[in-house]
Amino acid sequence: MNFRQLLLVLISVPALAQTTAPASATTDWTTTYWPARWILHPTAPARQYGVFHLRKAIDLPQKPTRFVVHVSGDNRYRLFVNGRAVLLGPARSDTQNWNYETIDLAPYLQAGRNVLAAQVWNMGEGIPFAQMSYQTGFVLQGDTEAEKIANTDASWKVYQNPAYSPIKNDIPKLRTYIVAGDGDRVDAARYPWGWEQPDFNDSAWLAAKPFGFPTKPRGLGTDGNWGLVPRQIPMMEEHPERLTAVRRIENGQMEAAFLQGKAPVTVTANKKAVFLLDNGVLTNAYPELTVSRGKNAVITLSYAEALIDAAGKKGNRNEVEGRSLRGFDDQFIADGSDRRTFRPLWFRTYRYLQLTVETKDEPLVLNDLVGQFTGYPFEQKGTFTANAPTSTTSTPGASTRGDSSLQGIWDVGWRTARLCAGETYYDCPYYEQLQYTGDTRVQSLISLYVAGDDRLMRKAILDYDHSRFNDGLTQSRYPSADFQVIPTFSLFWVCMIHDYWMHRSDDAFVKSMMPGVLSVLNWHEERLDKNGLNGPLLWWNFVDWAKWQNAKDEVAGGVPPGAKKGGSSILTLQQAYTYFRAADLLAHFGQNERAEHYRELARRLNKAVYAQCWDAGRGLLADTPAKNSFSQHANLLAILTDAVPKNQQVALLTKTMAATDIIQATFYFKFYLFEALKKTGLGDELVPQLKPWRDMLAIGLTTFAENPEPTRSDCHAWSASPLYALLSTTCGIQPAEPGFRTVRIEPAFGTLTRVDGRVPHPQGEIAVSFQKTAAGGLTGSVSLPEKMTGTLRWKGKSLPLKGGTQTVSL
């Protein structure tokens, strides 16, 4: 069985791997030391690059009905049983909250001899920033006496694989910030093929070395190393997908049938051939390349989101002519044997995958190339469809029965959200794979509304709580081996907790976050100036990748004027925006005096901003009291906080959207534009505001980009916010009270003639189907979970809603 065959087994693994030990377990492994020991290679450096294989044979008198083990590794591990890949882990975290996975191995075991095997790797200096680490190690603990035979100790054998070496990302070539980790170079001639199989001869392998300290769950022991905690999210999804087209060939031949696994390709001896392949859409996948013969041939796999022209511009993502691939690489060196399969240690992100084959004295056969898609196992349960007259859509050829651009925005937005979710949320899968709070707030709401899955959101909130440092703030991205602080993102962490509280009944969890919430609020309160605006602020006070003026003292970019020296209306209003939400949480938990303090403080901030930054002549709020910079951001936050009187907010938002001479919100901050539309009753304007997303579709993007062109990242989940907006604003589905116990539905679909939407709910599903009448009324149906109530609002009129399906007319 080759590597590809082994790893296809992973398709069926997730349901098993996420199961926890049955109630009959005799030990709570979260409160007691583990008899199993962390093990490592006895002589290899423990904190440098290395790929290791471990094995242990166990004898069982009969096939067990239950064989539960708990497993973890650093940096990462892959577990095999009798040659079958059954588990990947651990879920990314920090060393004091180090995840272990629990799995029942019984389905893979047999009577007699069985072999457990693990691949463990440490990327050393080339580690991804999102991967935290203590040192190389592996641990497996049997759940009861019956499984202790499998415990890791010196009876396990270990081998360091010399076939692996890292390929450093060529940052000058890529000309950007990329911290997703090194590529892999594998020399097949040095690889111990079949090492995971039961009949492999491991007699020359060394005895593993137990780590010097006892294995412990979080909260025990005097030493640091790994504080083990159970994994709280499911295993990642994995399924095969194939590239769709051969776009260019240099010095070789390849038929489209190769991409379907039906026609191998031969590259003759002493030749360099290049094959540019197109996946059709951006993806996250483990590419698996199988080759035969071609001893010493070098195959380089290069990955890119898009091709670039001579000026380094991406342009239309579908175009190939006159364009080249500039990305990062993996490399496989053939050993002349049949059907050797290369698969990188970590997934790759690509739309375009280029094979560069350099043969020596023997022809090389490319047998097959298939990708194994991977990602958090979100299911699309939420839906949105709409009908519109042709005149309301900017997509040529759209039918009168539907706005095809909205369907495209929905589909591409969901792909974007999916590619930016794994063991954590990612800002972007290609460049960073880091979980940033500003991004994650948007991603979490999409997860709730489209997938109905709150587990990754909950983990993210917990991750940020773990990231807090002595200033009292959360780190801006976490887990991260590189320390970074964005105080505005700490505020959005508080808002995330409020979002979770509004959508889920989970008081114990929310309450556990309150010490961190107060710490963040206090840091910002202490830095207010006597004039009521923010004073000088430390760290990187990022707001948006907008073209800020008068902010030249911030080299990192993304920061409005008045951050470093004080006086930013934007940062002051974001504090007020957060204080209002924090006050709701505090009041819910009985801290009424403190809640009122923050409400009153927010009102004072609003008053100070309006008094010092409102420009009556322009009818806009300025970014600072100097009134020499104006932005959509300041005015949107003024609306969302009621810093501007409510009777002025519709006019202000209309002017803010129309003004082209003020600093424009980019894709990220348009989330707050959409929220302002909803708050002011201008939700009818949402669909026209989606023109930037239609523009991205028009240039061939299959996921939504980080920024308007020219952009670095072609896949940035903060740009998937229209999914949430279409359901919460256009369909109008929103929680009316904490825990989503009741619903408020206030549709606003502009010139659309019909909208249909479904939102998953903890008790079932909320579904709406609305049509406009010729007289401007609303008809249709609403379906709620049986025990739920709510209110439907339309043009100032209200209708009570009850559980079940009901016909509505207003």
Q: Give the residue-averaged pLDDT of 237-252.
A: 98
Q: At 77, give phi and psi (nearest 5°).
A: -145, 160
pLDDT given for residue 553 in this prediction: 58
Task: Please work out, in degrees rounded to the nearest 5, the angle formed at the alpha carbon of residue 585 by the alpha carbons of 582 and 590.
Answer: 125
581 vs 172, more confident:
581
Tokens representing residue 410 in the block: 């929905």
Residue pointed to by tokens 């979980």: 435
pLDDT given for residue 5 in this prediction: 38
Question: At 495, is the secondary structure helix, strand, or coil?
Answer: helix
pLDDT given for residue 174 in this prediction: 72
Nearest CA-CA partner of 73 in 17, 18, 10, 119: 119
> What is the per-residue pLDDT across 394-405, written as a single tens digit (0 to 9) for each?
333 333 334 678
> What is the per-residue pLDDT across 403-456, written as a single tens digit (0 to 9) for each?
678 999 999 999 999 999 999 999 999 999 999 999 999 999 999 999 999 999
Cα–Cα distance for residue pair 294/362, rounded to 1 Å: 5
Task: Please work out, in degrees rounded to the nearest 5, the angle formed at the alpha carbon of residue 433 by the alpha carbons of 432 and 437.
Answer: 100
Q: Give the residue-averaged pLDDT of 553-565.
A: 84
Nearest CA-CA partner of 122 in 182, 63, 175: 182
- State which CATH number among 3.40.50.1820, 1.10.10.60, 2.60.120.260, 3.30.2310.20 fits the domain covering 238-375: 2.60.120.260
Cα–Cα distance for residue pair 207/634, rounded to 1 Å: 63
- Alpha carbon 705 to chain centroid, angstroms: 14
Residue pointed to by tokens 């095969």: 240
Tokens representing residue 252 in the block: 């070789």
Exposed (0-12), middle (13-18) or buried (19+): which is 588, by Cβ within 10 Å?
middle
Question: What sign for the dihedral angle of Cα 547, 553, 558, 562?
Answer: negative
Which contiguous run of DSSP H or E holds residue 692?
Answer: helix 691-698
The residue ranges of DSSP E strands in 257-344, in sequence order, are 265-267, 272-293, 298-304, 328-333, 340-342
- Alpha carbon 708 to chain centroid, angstroms: 21
Among 98-107, 507-516, 543-552, the minimum mean pLDDT is found in 543-552
Question: At 255, is the secondary structure helix, strand, or coil?
Answer: coil
Tokens representing residue 250 in the block: 């240099």
Assign 176 a pLDDT band (cuts: 50, 70, 90): confident
Q: Give the residue-averaged pLDDT of 198-210.
A: 98
Cα–Cα distance for residue pair 406/565, rounded to 1 Å: 43
What are the residue ranges of helices labelled H in 111-170?
none
Assess whether pLDDT exceeds 50 at residue 555: yes
Assign 169 a pLDDT band (cuts: 50, 70, 90): confident
- C-beta of residue 521 within 8 angstroms of C-beta of residue 474: no
Cα–Cα distance for residue pair 747/767, rounded to 1 Å: 12
DSSP notation for 645-691:
-HHHHHHHHHHHHH-SSSBPP-TTTHHHHHHHHHHHT-GGGTGGGGH
Residues 6+ apart with CB under 8 A from 760: 381, 382, 449, 450, 451, 452
Among 21-30, 73-82, 155-164, 673-682, the minimum mean pLDDT is found in 21-30
DSSP notation for 158-197:
EEE-TTEEEE---HHHHTS---S--EEEEEGGGS-TTTTS
Tokens representing residue 303 in the block: 């990955």
Cis peptide before 90 (omega within 30 of 0): yes
Cα–Cα distance for residue pair 405/688, rounded to 1 Å: 11
Q: What is the mean pLDDT of the chain?
A: 94
Assess whether pLDDT exceeds 70 at residue 389: no
Q: Where are the domains of the chain?
A: 3-233, 238-375, 527-685
Residue 590: other Cβ atoms inside 10 A: 9
Residues 6+ apart with CB under 8 A from 310: 322
| Topology match between the domains 3-233 and 238-375 | yes
Which contiguous run of DSSP H or E holds residue 638?
Answer: helix 632-641
CATH of domain 3-233: 2.60.120.260
Residues 6+ apart with CB under 8 A from 600: none
Assign 170 a pLDDT band (cuts: 50, 70, 90): confident
> What is the per-residue pLDDT across 722-749, written as a single tens digit (0 to 9) for each?
999 999 999 999 999 999 999 999 999 9
- Local structure of residue 343 (DSSP, 8 states): -
Distances in whole angstroms, Cα of residue 171 to Cα of each of 80, 98, 545, 681, 711? 35, 31, 22, 47, 17
Nearest CA-CA partner of 192 in 51, 308, 288, 293: 51
DSSP notation for 15-31:
HHHTPPPPTT-S--TTS
**CATH class for the region spanning 527-685:** mainly alpha
Q: Give the residue-averaged pLDDT of 479-496.
A: 98
Phi-psi region of 717 (alpha: psi -120 to 50; beta: other; left: phi over 0): alpha
Question: At 129, is the secondary structure helix, strand, or coil?
Answer: coil
pLDDT given for residue 26 in this prediction: 60
Tokens representing residue 182 in the block: 């090194």
Q: Give the residue-averaged pLDDT of 225-254.
A: 97
Cα–Cα distance for residue pair 427/435, rounded to 1 Å: 6
Residue 194: other Cβ atoms inside 10 A: 14
Residue 282: other Cβ atoms inside 10 A: 24
Nearest CA-CA partner of 24 in 196, 185, 186, 143: 143
Residue at 349: amino acid letter: T
Assign 64 a pLDDT band (cuts: 50, 70, 90): very high
Assign 175 a pLDDT band (cuts: 50, 70, 90): confident
Tokens representing residue 194 in the block: 């079949």
The pTM score is 0.94
Residues 6+ apart with CB under 8 A from 330: 167, 183, 184, 185, 287, 300, 301, 342, 344, 348
- In our burial notation (b when 16+ CB lie closer than 10 A, e otherwise), range 133-162 reads bbbbbbbbbbbeeebeebbbeeebbbbebe
Nearest CA-CA partner of 13 in 77, 72, 79, 110: 79
Question: At 570, is the secondary structure helix, strand, or coil?
Answer: helix
Distances in whole angstroms, Cα of residue 439 to Cα of each of 23, 54, 285, 424, 608? 38, 38, 22, 12, 29
Residue at 50: amino acid letter: G
Residues 6+ apart with CB under 8 A from 756: 383, 384, 385, 386, 767, 768, 769, 770
